[in-house]
């Protein structure tokens, strides 16, 4: 069983004053949302530091540019292969220069590292991202995430490195300001925010929004634009010498409904993270669900935390008696069921009352790690997931992925007032007949186009990209067939005839093209369009004069997040200006390790990531079961090392030097993960050496494999040590391949590596 992972590394002391403030300014043109964010850092001490901050972005946003102001200079970053970027960054720190590196930490998360920030020096990191908004049944929702809350599970299983882990502090309060300018139809919409107080001002045909009061990084900023009419339109942009087209379809509302009633499986999150405002909102949502059930519908009701509780063993007809019984279950619902074992709960709910075809309505905050495998398993189940995200900062990336990959839909609600509308829209979607045979055609044959979506819902936007070499298209057509009668539908999107300036559209299109591409194609797109991806990093270096160079390696300072408002009952999710009323004395400062902990396995940070979090490092009100240290890897390990060691001990004094030389002994997903490191820029022999050396180091005390490992140990003693970045990534592959507990399959791999095995 996993636990909420709250690492308290000895090398990461209090960082409350390192990040001084965050300021954001954005604009909305049509359905394109662009946001510039400015993060201000200060080194308050007398020693040089490395400030590291893992921050959130919207689930489908594309990071476009990074600019840094430091030492009186303005520097712009370049995107390179991850291995090259890490070498350049660490080389700059060793040389005494300052450097900034931005890397992808997971879906909806990036990590910025500001290395060698000198004593009392300031640095400003500015980045820009773009996001395609969607029209949803008369409403457009703009979300600016500001905080990552505690999540259940181990972030290392997603491929995150220890320095990227998120630490939360209930006493943290970073100032935040936001200003948005809405253009065109959006400026005339009815605007509101369920999360923050807003000030509005009309200016030259635009609407300017700003946060009122003293906002902090403790909840998502949500702006609702309502009263809009959805449009289908094609937007054009340049892509080098060619063109890129974005077709945004909005199929019209139709009267057709599915012939049969709903088979609805209701699954509500009752884990500890849902306590307080979240479980109150969930109960409100569930009562609204019951109010929309019809006599032809059938339903079940289940709760989950560490375990899942099905209140009925099958689907019940939505009779008044059954609905009344369910309302009693809802009234008794409490957030007291332990951890968020979402994967097991979904699997159990999918299997409930089979072979019924059913939809799952999931009500949760989504605060779990290890999302990729969970989504893949849900997709294989063949049941649509309709997710309602509850809370001030739900893990929307996971919920949107679950919905889109299964053919369902997702809505996140930040306040009680949003729940009735969200539930009504969910039922409208569910009652539409299932869609199949989705196609997109253009009046000119494209060179490439993104995959046709599997979800087409009346009154909601579907985005589709295509590329053209010589001339732009004039029209695109979305076609689909609606079950159960096989009725054919289509929606046309005509071009506006104007090509937008800049490369934003082409780069957003490149990010969309990565979905469904091979690992090599994703890496190539990341480099071509300067996108930070699982295999590319953005790096810039500030070369200092000799007299200003740092003489020591910097001490690590991780930026601490606040707890999301309302999390486990902490604060009120609708009060954005309440300051903490309790100031407790901090733990005594512990010596900070330098940035080169990434290279030295003996460092305190790495020991924490290997052995788990000590229970006494977790606050009592957050403490849960810490993952145990028992592994179930031995059979797989023994087969590998015993197959490899006889070759090494039969007169051949060298270990294999290629991945082909070891691939025959390993599961295909492991070698696929290692090959992804080749695409990231590492040498194949270095990867092979590091993999075998890491096996010896990690599992040298395994009594079952000791004889075989003794042979390998003699051979790896003379190998050249791996670079810092490579050693960490190979270490994750080794641990994830053989770290399975309680019979978990070996295919459990970090998210950034698992895609290679798709």
Give the chain's mean pLDDT: 80
H or E element at residue 89: helix 82-94
Residue range 727-754: mean pLDDT, rounded: 53
Give the CA distances from residue 26 to residues 144, 207, 414, 461, in Å, rounded to whole numbers and listed in that order.
10, 12, 21, 22
Query: Is the pLDDT confidence value at 667 over 50?
Result: yes
Please say if the pLDDT value at position 598 is more than 50: no
Question: What is the reported pLDDT for 642?
Answer: 59
Which residue has better confidence, 398 or 581?
A: 398
Average pLDDT over residues 606-630: 32
Of 416 and 114, the one with more pLDDT: 114
Instruction: Return the higher-pLDDT residue of 285 and 180.
Output: 180
Q: Distance between CA 362 and CA 408 in Å, rounded?
A: 11
End-to-end CA distance of the chain: 26
Per-residue pLDDT at 109: 93
Q: How many angstroms separate the CA atoms of 72 and 722, rounded?
A: 36
For residue 629, give the DSSP letter: S
DSSP type of residue 447: S
**Using CA of residue 109, residue 115, residue 118, residue 121, what is the dihedral sign?**
negative
367 pLDDT exceeds 90? no
Q: What is the pLDDT of residues 404-413, one digit of tens each?
A: 888 899 999 8
Taking residues 465-494, what's their average pLDDT?
Answer: 86
pLDDT of residue 574: 54
Highest mean pLDDT among 442-446, 452-456, 579-583: 442-446
pLDDT 10s digits, 530-567: 999 999 999 999 999 999 999 999 999 999 999 998 77
Q: Which residues of 72-97 are buried (b: 16+ CB within 10 A; e: fewer)?
A: eeebebebbbbbbbbbbbbebbeebb
**Beta-bridge partners for 333:** none
Q: What would the mean pLDDT of 86-107 be, rounded to a whole number?
A: 94
The confidence score (pLDDT) of residue 607 equals: 30
Q: Which domains, ranges and CATH numbers included, belong to the chain?
A: 19-228+535-558 (2.60.40.1730), 263-430 (3.40.50.410), 634-757 (no CATH)
Does the structure show a pLDDT above 90 at 712?
Answer: no
Strand pairing class (384-390; 409-413): parallel
More confident residue, 96 or 722: 96
Q: pLDDT, tens digit, for every residue of 502-535?
A: 999 999 999 999 987 899 999 999 999 999 999 9
Element (H, E) at 330: helix 320-331
- Taking the C-alpha atoms of residue 545 and residue 47, their distance in angstroms, rounded to an integer, is 18
For 235, the 3-state DSSP assignment is strand
Assess whether pLDDT exceeds 50 at residue 614: no
Q: With beta carbons less than 8 A apart as the criterion, state whether 238 and 468 touch.
A: no
Tell me the pLDDT band of 86, cut-offs 50, 70 and 90. very high
What angle (nearest 5°) sits at the alpha carbon of residue 756, between those of residues 755 and 758? Answer: 65
In terms of average pLDDT, the best of 322-326, 604-608, 717-721 is 322-326
Half-sphere exposure of 223 (CA within 13 A, CB side): 26
Rounded mean pLDDT, 490-512: 88
Q: How far is CA 394 from the centre of its chain?
A: 11
CA-based R_g, the chain, Å: 26
């Amino acid at each position: 069983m996993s636990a909420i992972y709250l690492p308290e590394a000895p090398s990461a002391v209090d960082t409350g004053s390192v990040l001084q403030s965050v300021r954001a300014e954005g604009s909305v043109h049509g359905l394109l949302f662009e946001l510039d964010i400015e993060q201000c850092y200060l080194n308050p001490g007398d020693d040089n530091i490395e400030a590291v901050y893992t921050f959130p972005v919207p689930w489908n946003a594309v990071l476009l540019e990074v600019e840094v102001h430091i030492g009186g200079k303005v520097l712009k970053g370049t995107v390179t292969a991850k291995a090259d970027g890490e070498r350049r960054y660490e080389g700059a720190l060793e040389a005494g220069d300052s450097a900034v590196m931005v890397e992808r930490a997971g879906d909806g998360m990036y990590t910025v590292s500001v290395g060698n920030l000198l004593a009392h020096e300031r640095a400003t990191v500015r980045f820009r991202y773009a996001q395609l908004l969607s029209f949803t049944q008369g409403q457009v929702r703009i979300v600016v995430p500001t905080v990552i809350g505690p999540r259940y599970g181990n972030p290392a299983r997603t491929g995150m490195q220890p320095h990227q882990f998120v630490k939360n502090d209930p006493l943290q309060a970073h100032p935040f300001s936001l200003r948005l300018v809405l253009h065109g139809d959006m400026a005339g919409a009815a605007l509101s925010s369920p999360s923050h107080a807003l000030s509005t001002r009309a200016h030259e045909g635009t609407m300017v929004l700003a946060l009122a009061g003293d906002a902090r990084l403790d909840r998502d900023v949500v702006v609702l634009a309502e009263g809009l009419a959805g449009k289908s339109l094609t937007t054009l942009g340049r892509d080098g010498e060619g063109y890129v087209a974005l077709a945004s379809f909005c199929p019209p509302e139709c009267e057709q409904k599915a012939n049969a009633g709903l088979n609805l499986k209701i699954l509500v999150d009752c884990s500890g993270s849902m306590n307080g405002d979240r479980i109150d909102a969930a109960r409100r949502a569930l009562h609204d669900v019951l109010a929309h059930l019809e006599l032809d519908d059938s339903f079940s009701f289940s709760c989950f935390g560490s375990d899942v509780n099905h209140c009925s063993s099958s689907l019940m007809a939505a009779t008044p008696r059954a609905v009344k019984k369910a309302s009693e279950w809802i009234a008794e619902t409490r957030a007291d069921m332990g951890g968020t074992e979402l994967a097991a709960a979904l699997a159990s709910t999918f299997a409930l009352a089979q072979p019924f075809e059913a939809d799952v309505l999931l009500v949760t905050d989504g605060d779990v790690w290890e999302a990729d495998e969970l989504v893949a398993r849900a997709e294989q189940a063949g049941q649509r997931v309709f997710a309602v995200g509850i809370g001030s900062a739900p893990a929307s990336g996971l919920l949107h992925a679950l919905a889109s990959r299964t053919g369902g839909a997702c809505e996140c609600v930040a306040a009680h007032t949003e729940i009735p509308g969200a539930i009504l829209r969910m039922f409208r979607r569910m009652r539409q007949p299932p869609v199949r045979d989705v196609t997109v055609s253009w009046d000119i044959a494209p060179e490439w186009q993104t995959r046709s979506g599997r979800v087409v819902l009346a009154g909601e936007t579907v985005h589709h990209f295509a590329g053209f070499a010589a001339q732009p298209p004039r029209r695109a057509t979305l076609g689909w067939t609606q079950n159960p009668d096989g009725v054919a539908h289509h929606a046309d999107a005509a071009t506006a005839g104007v090509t937008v300036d800049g490369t934003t559209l082409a780069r957003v299109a490149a990010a969309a093209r990565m979905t469904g591409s091979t690992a090599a194609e994703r890496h190539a797109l990341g480099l071509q369009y300067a996108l930070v991806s699982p295999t590319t990093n953005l790096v810039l270096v500030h070369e200092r004069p000799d007299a200003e160079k740092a003489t020591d390696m910097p001490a690590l300072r991780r930026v601490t997040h606040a707890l999301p408002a309302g999390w486990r009952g902490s604060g009120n999710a609708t009060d954005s200006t309440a300051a903490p009323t309790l100031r407790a004395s901090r733990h005594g400062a512990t010596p900070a390790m330098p940035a080169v902990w990434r290279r030295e396995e003996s460092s305190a940070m790495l020991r924490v990531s290997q052995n788990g979090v000590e229970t006494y490092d977790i606050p009592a009100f957050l403490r849960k079961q810490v993952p145990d240290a028992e592994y179930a890897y031995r059979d797989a390990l023994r087969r590998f090392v015993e197959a490899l060691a006889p070759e090494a001990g039969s007169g051949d004094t060298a270990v294999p030097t290629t991945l082909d030389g070891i691939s025959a002994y390993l599961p295909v997903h492991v070698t696929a993960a290692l090959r992804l490191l080749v695409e990231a820029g590492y040498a194949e022999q270095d990867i092979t050496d590091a993999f075998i050396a890491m096996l010896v180091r990690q599992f040298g005390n395994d009594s079952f494999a000791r004889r075989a490992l003794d042979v390998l140990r003699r051979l790896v003693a003379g190998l050249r040590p791996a670079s810092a970045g490579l050693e960490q990534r190979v270490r994750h592959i080794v641990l994830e391949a053989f770290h399975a507990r309680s019979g978990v399959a070996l295919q459990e791999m970090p998210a950034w590596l698992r895609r290679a095995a798709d």
